[in-house]
Amino acid sequence: MFLSIPDHHVMIDNTSILLTGGTGSFGHAFVKTVLARYPHIRRLVIYSRDELKQFEMAQRFPEKDYPMLRYFIGDIRDRDRLRRAMEGIDTVIHAAALKQVPAAEYNPFECIKTNVIGAQNLIEACLDSDVRRVVALSTDKAAAPINLYGATKLCSDKLFTAAQNIKGDRDLRIGVVRYGNVMGSRGSVIPFFLERRASGVLPITDPAMTRFNISLTEGVEMVLWALDAMHGGEIFVPRIPSYRITDVATAIAPECRQQIVGIRPGEKLHEEMITASDSFNTVDLGRYYAILPSAGAWPLDRYCAQTGGAPVPQGFAYNSGTNEDFLSVSQLRALIGAHVGQLEDVA
């Protein structure tokens, strides 16, 4: 029997959560879900370096209505500030990262300082405190990376999964969730196309390009699921559909001309979340896959026995171009309307 989705109340109610990068798209969705679903949470600490975004978030979630919310100015590059923020924290959700591929290519070490050194700072702060659960957010670009952003997130994933080996006798579980493009997130293709449709032309990098797709709601649910389901050291990957970039353009603006502009530096034609090399350590859990660390404490057969999962076939790869599930134009239009909006005038 495949791994079921546990009752999240076990890990959320009566706990204190630290959310790094908490003012981003994921952070807003996570906070909204947790506040609505778990009224007995003790504290939910938003840790980020942008005071304006924290101010704006506090207008949306005012203190008089949500006394459990706290706003903590800090950068994950600052280890001492992280240690201070960890006081009394049970659970950490790590969403802070530099994510723009072109910016990372131009400013590589700045990306490394946040995504790699920042990850290690967070891990050490967790090991020095009483934190019991850590879930770090990753990206499909971390699988067989060809750009610096993806390489830093692969390093980050390795740091988090390896940290499970040095936890000692602490009651600490650390895991990673890896998923594809988040529908409607800041800087992603859908808001870009919505903004550009008034021009009558949508730039298409390559007509064959595909991407995985997940909604913010699904991303939040996956993180909540991982908090309860992880044994420690896994990289969880969801079963999600793909889309063709040309279909997204058609769904948003069927009247617009699609202009081919070429793939940008550091960009793949298709994304993947599990490589063929990962297949030897990957377990099918039904709704999700789990990539186990090659040097972890959980041998494949033992993990399968514990979870009811099954090893994937050797050579299995999970690629947006060869995915069995593709979204149609009509499905995309419905999803964009539901999760992003701004499609009222599209026939």
CATH number of residue 13's parent domain: 3.40.50.720
pLDDT of res. 185? 81
pLDDT of res. 341? 66
For the segment 162-215, what is each residue's pLDDT rounded down to a tens digit?
A: 999 999 999 999 999 999 889 878 778 999 999 999 999 999 999 999 999 999
pLDDT score of 2 more than 60: no
Tell me the residue range of the domain where 48 lies: 9-180+215-239+272-318
pLDDT of res. 339? 81
What mean pLDDT value characterizes the chain? Answer: 92
Sheet containing 181-182: give its strands across.
181-182, 210-214, 242-244
Is 51 within a domain?
Answer: yes
For the segment 267-279, what is each residue's pLDDT rounded down to a tens digit?
A: 899 999 999 999 9
pTM of the entire predicted model: 0.93
pLDDT score of 246 more than 90: yes
Is 60 within a domain?
Answer: yes
Is 16 within a domain?
Answer: yes
For the segment 280-307, what is each residue's pLDDT rounded down to a tens digit?
A: 999 999 999 999 998 777 899 999 999 9
Q: What is the 3-state secondary structure (H, E, C) of 134-158?
A: EEEECCHHHCCCCCHHHHHHHHHHH
pLDDT score of 346 more than 60: no
- Over range 29-49, report the average pLDDT: 95
pLDDT of res. 297? 73
Q: Which two tokens stand for residue 318?
A: 């999970």
- Over range 145-155, report the average pLDDT: 97
Whole-angstrom distance, CA of residue 265 vs CA of residue 274: 22
Closest CA to 224 of 47, 38, 14, 1: 38
- Which residues does the annotation mark as catalytic? 141
Is 342 within a domain?
Answer: no
Number of domains, the chain: 1
Is 333 within a domain?
Answer: no
**Which residue has better confidence, 187 or 333?**
333
Is 68 within a domain?
Answer: yes
Match 């702060």 to its residue by tokens.
125
Is 168 within a domain?
Answer: yes
Percent of the chain with pLDDT over 70: 95
Cα of 13 vs its chain's centroid, Å: 22
Least confident of 2-16, 84-98, 105-119, 184-198: 2-16
Q: pLDDT-based confidence at 344, cuts 50/70/90?
A: very low
Is 265 within a domain?
Answer: no
Q: Any bridge partners for residue 71, and if so which?
A: 46
